[in-house]
Amino acid sequence: MQGDGTAALATAHRYWSWLEDGMNLIAAAAIFFLMFVGVFQVIGRTVFDTAINGYIDYMEQASALFAFLGVSYAQRVGAHIRMDLLLRGFSLRFMWSMELFAVVVALVIITVLIDSTYLNFLRAWELGDSTIDINLPVWPTKLLVPAVLAVLWVRLALQALDYVRLIRHPQAQPIAVPVIETIEVQAQHEIEEALGREETSHEEKRS
């Protein structure tokens, strides 16, 4: 995985990160939009005695945007909940091996989920499944799930390749995998951030 292999992995990681960043921005925009619609719904009902027709149906379908679009981004940056206490103190090669094992297990699970969620979409498409209130088609939301899981599958595959490279060369710089900071490093960053805020506060007071 040295030379051209490393360069190809870095290029794939960079381009795939752009897609993940875009999807995460859409998820963030969806959250903002749903908050705005929710406020409008409350004000409309209490002040103007009016409401958005099919509000619940729209909210149920749109919630899939922020629930799933950011999952691959979170995997890339290591934002998911982790239990890595047992790995502390072991060699880098052992740690990368355990990370590879976890990613391979995740790949298997995501593969099964892609198949099952796609079949779920096909059933909704063929049956013309819709929401109860305003008969909003649900197949776009159900298609979104396997599509997002496919993006996550590619991210996991990139991480698996990088973990294989890191197992062979433990001291190499990680490319497509998150770098998990130790407690000491996290504490140091928090101290530096706190000191930075204090310095900024003191400068504002002096000015």
Q: Please give, one letter per residue, the 3-state secondary structure of 2-60.
A: CCHHHHHHHHHHHHHHHHHHHHHHHHHHHHHHHHHHHHHHHHHHHHCCCCCCCHHHHHH
Q: What is the pTM of this model?
A: 0.79
Tens-place pLDDT, residues 131-189: 777 777 888 888 999 999 999 999 999 999 999 998 888 888 888 888 765 555 556 65
Which residue has better confidence, 135 or 118? 118
What's residue 46's pLDDT? Answer: 77
Tens-place pLDDT, residues 49-89: 777 777 777 788 888 888 888 889 888 887 766 666 566 66
Dmax of the chain from CA atoms? 69
User: Does the pLDDT at position 205 exceed 50?
Assistant: no
